[in-house]
Structure 1
Amino acid sequence: MDSVRNPYTPNAGAAPEFVVGREEQTTAFKVLLRRLSMGRTEQSMIITGLRGVGKTVLLNEFGDIARESRWEVVELEARKHDDTRFRQMMFSQLRAALLRLSPRARWTDRGRRAAAALSSFALSINQDGTWSVTWDVDPAEGYADHGDLGLDLTDVFVAIGEVAREQSSGLALLVDEVQFLRAPQLEALIQAIHKTVQRKLPITFVGAGLPQIAELAGDAKSYAERLFKFPKIDSLSDEDARLALSEPALAEEVLFEAEALDLALEITKGYPYFLQELGYQVWGVAELDRITRADVVVAREAYEAKLDSSFFRVRLDRSTPLQTAYMRAMAELGPEPQKAGDVARIMNRESTQLGPTRAELIDMGLLFTPEHGYAAFTVPEFDKFMKRAVPKLVVPDVQRRRSLSDR
């Protein structure tokens, strides 16, 4: 078939031609915006799920919904920045949002107060000991200048929230990869949103990240579980998965036959990214105006090769030999969450020896802890890939590695 007409989008964060199965989350977000606009409170949300289930796509959809509702939107992808860089990033984004909410020439007292709070938030000490800020607005004394990230960000959120309410608008802060925020940064965001809820201001923080986020948020602030909803998104239902494949093809006047859909669901397990990748590969081998089971069979090898060389491989390539061995041992035990002691046993090591390796993999976003003492892959089907990519488990000598490093 014509590759230009290929309706499938196996790209990171790219919205599919036909989005299904996420109506509950989009409805909840619309309710959130409407209630905040009315001066009422509503729980914000942090979406959790494995890689490839569509968290970023859903967050982008939220951005579109917010803009259609005349809200200002700040979209961030969290990075492992230190607190100074985090302040700089937040200042840059929030300054732009303030200027969109209220152009400088039309600032009221609230607008000027918010700008002054941002100046205080962004103050830094130069090497010569002088103070500087990145725009020509004098800082507010005693406001967003506490030297505490949580207190300072709270002052800024409240000030901007008051401007948004004055302008009959709102501010939606959408943060992807929340798990990469440092603990003080996540704590500061939660603390700031908590205060805006108390003031009934139209400002919200909605995030997306790996499954451990709910636990991290609870550790940051005990009231996070009351401040946020934590909807989990996973693979699509059979019905929605079929629609995700058949409807884009139908829009191009191509029929995706029922038997072809059956095999496609068996291969992909309904994971959104996998559906898009398989659909893309099948389109390349199908002929005329229909997609058959035989087409799916032919495309399967190219589909798996593409996942192995990109989606899976980029994660494995980041790992050290010991980290690779740890993940290979987990794969040997199966796709379910695995106990640290069982993984260590497979590797003929003690759990205490491998504790740092496990922690590194969690910090890298390759594993998460669904419950105490267990770890699981953050990528669906990663256990099968590890067996294909690393046919034999080879464990580096941990003790020798440590003794050499000590020298």
Structure 2
Amino acid sequence: MDSISNPYTPNAGAAPEVVVGRDDLIEAFTVLLGRLERHRTEQSMIITGLRGVGKTVLLGRFGEIARAAGWEVVEIEASKHDDARFRQTMFSQLKSALLRLSPRARWTERGRRAAEVLSAFAVSVDQKGTFSVSWDVPPAEGEGDHGDLSMDLTDVFVALGEAADEQHRGVALLIDEVQFLGRTQLEALIQAVHKTVQRRLPIVFVGSGLPQIAELAGDAKSYAERLFTFPVIGSLAGDDARAALTEPARVEGVVFDDDAIDLAMQITQGYPYFIQELGYQVWAVATAGRVHRSDVEIAREAYEAKLDGSFFRVRLDRATPLQTAYLRAMAELGPEPQKAADVARVLGRESTQVGPTRAELIDMGLLYTPEHGYAAFTVPDFDEFMKRAVPELTIPELRKRERHADGDPHGRDA
């Protein structure tokens, strides 16, 4: 069929033609905005799930809802930056939000105060010094200038929230990949949101990322579990999964046979990204406005090759030989969460020897810890990919790390 009219969107964060199975979260976000507009408190949310389940798409939908309601939206993809770079990013984004709330020429006393607190936030000194401020608003004194990220960001959120409230508007901060925030950064966000809740200000923070976020947030601030909900999203089930495949095609006048849908569900297991990728490949095979089971069977090879060459491969390419061996050993044990001791046994080593490798893979976002002592892949079907990409488990030779300059004799497996 015509490639230009292909309705499937297997791209990172790209919204599909039809968003299904997330109605409860969309409704919860709409209620959240509505209650804050009425100065009533409501829990913000941090959405968790594996790669490819539609977290970024959902954040994008939240942004559309907030804009339609007259809110200013700040969208950030978190990265592993130091606190100074995080401070600069927040300053730049929140400054833009303030200017959209009210042009500088129309600032009231609250608007100007918010700008001054932002300036103080920008020039606060940390261990690496200061960074330049791209406007000439003088910094406030005693607010946003403590040199402590949590205290400073709290001052900013309160001042911005008061300026937004005066305009009968709100600010929605949507942060993707929250697991890449540093502990002090996550702690600062949680503390700042907590204060705006106490003041009943129209500031909402919604984050998304890998499943370990709930634990990270709880470690950062013990009250996080009361400040946020932590909805988990996963594969689509039943009619929702079938609709995600068939409805985009129906818009273009194309119909799937029932047995073709059944096979597609078996292949994709209902994962939203996989459905989009398989649908895209099937579209290239099918003819005459109808998709048969044989079309899905033919498209399967191209579907798996595309996943292997991009979705999966981009993650494996970042791994060292020992990290690759660890992932392959996990795949040997199966798709379920695996005990660290069992993986070490497959590698012929002690848990303490491969513990640093496991920690590195978690830090890279390739693994997460669903419970103490266990690790699982953050990408569905990654175990099968590892078996295809690395047919034989190859274990690097055991060697000791070099001594530290201070003479530390404790070597670890590298």
Same fold (TM over 0.5): yes
Q: Which residue of 2 aligns with 1:157?
A: 157
User: What SS does the corresponding residue of 1:57 show, helix, strand or coil?
Assistant: helix
Q: Counterpart amino acid of 1:350?
A: E
Q: Aligned in 2, Cα 1:404/1:290: closer, same or farther, shift over 3 Å?
A: farther
Q: CA deviation at 1:102?
A: 1.3
Q: Which residue of 1 aligns with 2:235?
A: 235
Q: CA deviation at 1:135?
A: 1.3
Q: CA deviation at 1:77?
A: 0.1
Q: CA deviation at 1:401?
A: 5.3
Q: Which residue of 2 aligns with 1:184?
A: 184
Q: Which residue of 2 aligns with 1:376?
A: 376
Q: Which residue of 1 aligns with 2:64?
A: 64
Identity of aligned residues (%): 75
Please give the alpha-carbon distance, in whole angstroms, between the structure 2 residues aligned to 1:132 and 1:357.
38
Conservation of the 8 A alpha-carbon contact between 2:84 and 2:126:
no
1:276 aligns with 2:279: no
1:312 aligns with 2:307: no
Please give the alpha-carbon distance, in whole angstroms, between the structure 2 residues aligned to 1:26 and 1:20.
10
User: What SS does the corresponding residue of 2:46 show, helix, strand or coil?
Assistant: strand
Q: TM-score normalised to the size of structure 2?
A: 0.95
1:42-84 alpha-carbon deviations (Å, 9 max, x no partner): 0000000000000000000000000000000000000001011
Q: Which residue of 1 aligns with 2:401?
A: 402
Conservation of the 8 A alpha-carbon contact between 1:124 and 1:132:
no
Q: CA deviation at 1:85?
A: 0.5
User: What SS does the corresponding residue of 2:4 show, helix, strand or coil?
Assistant: helix
Q: CA deviation at 1:124?
A: 5.2
Please give the alpha-carbon distance, in whole angstroms, between the structure 2 residues aligned to 1:115 and 1:100.
12
Q: Which residue of 2 aligns with 1:204?
A: 204
Q: Counterpart amino acid of 1:114?
A: A
Conservation of the 8 A alpha-carbon contact between 1:334 and 1:383:
yes
Q: Aligned in 2, Cα 1:159/1:349: closer, same or farther, shift over 3 Å?
A: same
Please give the alpha-carbon distance, in whole angstroms, between the structure 1 residues aligned to 2:126 and 2:331.
50
Please give the alpha-carbon distance, in whole angstroms, between the structure 1 residues aligned to 2:125 and 2:17.
49
1:46 aligns with 2:36: no
Conservation of the 8 A alpha-carbon contact between 2:120 and 2:140:
yes
1:16 aligns with 2:11: no
Q: Which residue of 2 aligns with 1:139?
A: 139
Conservation of the 8 A alpha-carbon contact between 1:122 and 1:134:
no
Please give the alpha-carbon distance, in whole angstroms, between the structure 1 residues aligned to 2:105 and 2:270.
52
Please give the alpha-carbon distance, in whole angstroms, between the structure 2 residues aligned to 1:144 and 1:244.
46
Q: Counterpart amino acid of 1:172?
A: A
Q: Which residue of 2 aligns with 1:95?
A: 95
Conservation of the 8 A alpha-carbon contact between 1:52 and 1:272:
yes
Q: Which residue of 2 aligns with 1:252?
A: 252
1:381-402 alpha-carbon deviations (Å, 9 max, x no partner): 000000000001111113x253
Q: CA deviation at 1:133?
A: 3.2
Please give the alpha-carbon distance, in whole angstroms, between the structure 2 residues aligned to 1:165 and 1:130.
31
Q: CA deviation at 1:201?
A: 0.2
Q: Which residue of 2 aligns with 1:172?
A: 172
Q: Aligned in 2, Cα 1:142/1:391: closer, same or farther, shift over 3 Å?
A: same
Give the aligned length. 404
Q: Which residue of 1 aligns with 2:389?
A: 389
Q: Which runs of 4+ in 1 moved over 4 A?
A: 124-127, 129-132, 403-406
Unaligned runs of 5+ in 1: none
Please give the alpha-carbon distance, in whole angstroms, between the structure 2 residues aligned to 1:366 and 1:151.
33
Q: Counterpart amino acid of 2:216?
A: L
Q: TM-score normalised to the size of structure 1?
A: 0.97
Conservation of the 8 A alpha-carbon contact between 1:368 and 1:377:
yes
User: What SS does the corresponding residue of 2:401 show, helix, strand or coil?
Assistant: helix
Conservation of the 8 A alpha-carbon contact between 1:124 and 1:133:
no
Conservation of the 8 A alpha-carbon contact between 1:46 and 1:229:
yes
Conservation of the 8 A alpha-carbon contact between 2:124 and 2:145:
no
Q: Which residue of 1 aligns with 2:328?
A: 328
Q: Which residue of 1 aligns with 2:408?
A: none
Q: What RMSD over aligned residues (CA atoms) do the two structures have, in Å?
A: 1.6
Unaligned runs of 5+ in 2: 405-410
Q: CA deviation at 1:131?
A: 8.8
Q: CA deviation at 1:132?
A: 5.5
Q: Aligned in 2, Cα 1:132/1:284: closer, same or farther, shift over 3 Å?
A: closer
